[in-house]
A and B are shown apart, each in its own frame.
Chain A
Amino acid sequence: MPKVKLNGKEIEVKPGTMLIDAFKQAGEDIAHYCYHPGLPTAGVCRLCMVEIEGNPRMQIACNTVVTEGMSARNNSDKVKEAVRWGLNFHLINHPLDCPICDQAGECGLQDQYMKFGKYTPEMSEQKVKKRKVVSLGERVVLDSERCILCSRCVRFTSEITKTNELGIFNRGDHAEIGTFEDKPLNNNYSMNTVDICPVGALTSKDFRFRQRVWYLKDASSICTGCSTGCKIRVYYNEEGLFRIKPEHNPEVNGYWMCDKGRDIYKHVNPEARLQEARWGQVGNWQVKDIAEALREAGEAIRASVRDSHHSKVALVLTGQQTLEELTAAVKFFLSDLNSRDIYHWINNPEEMEKFDGLLFRGDRNPNTKGLLSLLASEKVSATWAQLEGKLNSHEIETLMVVGPEDPGVFPDLAAKLKLFAKAKRLVWLSSARVAAVDQVTTATWQIPLKSFFEKDGTLVNAQGRKQTLRKIATLIPAAVSVDQAVAVMSGREKAVPMGKFELNWKKTNFFVGERGSL
């Protein structure tokens, strides 16, 4: 293990470490744009300059491997001066349109400028005009003038997705990134280029101009868009959820996540949600108190069991809920009702096993593995065909369905609801507002569930890793988790603890006073 001395601090690093990683390991600040730990080294921004003892000239830390006994520093005046000039060169053709730029607040250029800016610009020449507001596919917008040619996005499309859409065209001042003949950048990972762009050159069509980033609070969570279970950061404020970005998790997703996963905030926001408990059928719906609805639904389920010799109830589960919730529902049927009629609703059987080789899986449920292992350990082996048979012969009196959190990934939703409507009574638990449920012709209770944003729990991803979901805030006060619902349905509890709307994180600029002084 080589020992190195960085800014006077002595640390031990793994052999083959790049100097910039060693600086980060030592907790020393080091300026950089083009370096990204998930991408190959380019060494084009020339900002991570360090002075290495015994070396007459400064070197870039991102492309220098540490050697035994190396002593380097980046806090000398010589280095600071070099970074200052490097930064000034980056700004020669940068438009400095921060007030109207979407990246402002999380921009690498702004951050470094606060530390190393020359403040008095010495460039009196005209800036080179380049293309602005270029649509690069469905999700990304390009502003060439803001680009500092760090080539992170180009390396991403060539090394990570291997789709090679982006390139640097022309030369010198006129060099700009783009795609060949403006072909759209429509791979499923295009939004990662927006994340890694250190400036506002690539911005997200979905998030553009919707919020200033300093008005957003963020929290760590797990993506529920597919069975990979990427670690994510959710950005929100009092007005709702606004975007999702990947967080580093070397075991699951590395630094990246797919574009489809970025849409999952949309079905968590209140406008897409089932807001209150309802009872009735098509054309005639009544809003009910959540505890009352649950007591009634529970009574109906238990009555169906009590009044007959064989089970007239059934439970349908999806891989969309947490392990704790699924366990509670299964236990309710096995021990309280003594019924083994538990069925797994597979939403897209043809796609289930698909995997794109990077992150995205065809199984769009975050917890299919968890549900399958739970059913296996309880030795529940009922098949979907059995349920269809029972429903078609009207054997089922009360059907309980723990429905989807994201109805968008259930292409068979309408067809399945028609099948469910063959039961005499339906208990439908779902966090999402599904228009097709309002058309159901059988007596139905609609119970609002909590989304992944609002509950604690465990999800088992496709690798079999157990990942913990943490509650961030409550958006729908009436919503319950399945275990809370089951507690009331089984009669163990009389009421559910009512949630409070907690998304009251006020839009305040917490950067005020923390930034550098001018």
Chain B
Amino acid sequence: MFELSREGIEFVKKEMTRYETKRSAVIPCLFRVQKENGGWVSPESIAYLAQLMDVPERWVQEVATFYTMFNKQPVGKYHVQVCCNISCAMAGGREMTDKICQSLGVEEGAVSKDRRYTVSRVECLGSCGTAPMMQVNDDYYENLSADKAVKILRELE
């Protein structure tokens, strides 16, 4: 059974007073839940948040399923999101994704056997000037090449 930490609950309570309607607070709260739930939002965590915020479960579910930034499936310790939108694609982003998957031995979108990595292709992350790039959890790694990216990922703690 998923539960937020004490700080997490305080965060949710604060967010709910920040906006005119509770509905507006769903996104920041859901992000917090995702963080505390190991990178993804499970149905139980959605039900928990809905109960905590005193809103219908379907409100939270609608938001969670609408945005790709909420992972509906479990992810590895490092969620690697490689940009494959125009600038990055032109600079080799797609090939880089394939290379990363191959070197780490993980299927795109799936969790690696050691549960360390999940690699997914995403649309523009707003760092076109430094293409190709990837985002690992909350951090950007820019001006990459395939080898560089794999090296960075291997060296993560």
Contact = CB atoms under 8 A, between A and B. Distances in A.
A382 interface: no
A171 B56 CA distance: 19
Given A167-B62, A181-B47, 9 more contacts: A164-B59, A166-B58, A167-B59, A168-B62, A169-B62, A171-B65, A179-B58, A180-B43, A180-B58
Contacts of B61: 167, 169, 180
B100 interface: no
A180 B57 contact: yes
Top 7 A-B pairs ranked by shortest CB distance? A167-B58, A164-B56, A180-B57, A169-B65, A170-B65, A167-B62, A180-B61
Contacts of A168: 62
Contacts of B58: 164-167, 179-180
Interface in B34-89: 43, 46-47, 56-59, 61-62, 65-66
Nearest to A168: B62
Q: Is the interface on chain A under 10, 10 to 19, 20 to 34, or 35 or more residues?
A: 10 to 19
A137 to B, nearest CB: 15
Contacts of B43: 180-181
Nearest to B64: A169
Contacts of B62: 167-169
B77 to A, nearest CB: 27
Most A C-beta atoms less than 10 A away, residue of B56, B57, B58:
B58
- Assign chain B's interface to a size class: 10 to 19
Contacts of A170: 65-66
Contacts of B47: 180-181
Interface string A38-81: 00000000000000000000000000000000000000000000
A167 B59 CA distance: 7
Contacts of A180: 43, 46-47, 57-58, 61
Interface in A124-181: 158, 164-171, 179-181
A171 B66 contact: yes
A78 to B, nearest CB: 33
A423 B89 CA distance: 92
Nearest to A170: B65
16 contacts: A164-B57, A166-B58, A167-B56, A167-B61, A168-B62, A169-B61, A169-B62, A169-B65, A170-B65, A171-B66, A179-B58, A180-B43, A180-B46, A180-B47, A181-B43, A181-B57
A79 to B, nearest CB: 32
A166 B47 CA distance: 15
A399 to B, nearest CB: 53
Interface in A238-290: none
Contacts of B65: 169-171
A181 B47 CA distance: 10
Contacts of B57: 164, 180-181
A181 B66 CA distance: 16
A323 B4 CA distance: 61
Contacts of A167: 56, 58-59, 61-62
A409 to B, nearest CB: 32
Nearest to A158: B56
A170 to B, nearest CB: 5
A305 B58 CA distance: 66
Nearest to A171: B66
A166 B112 CA distance: 35
A96 B76 CA distance: 42
A181 B65 CA distance: 12
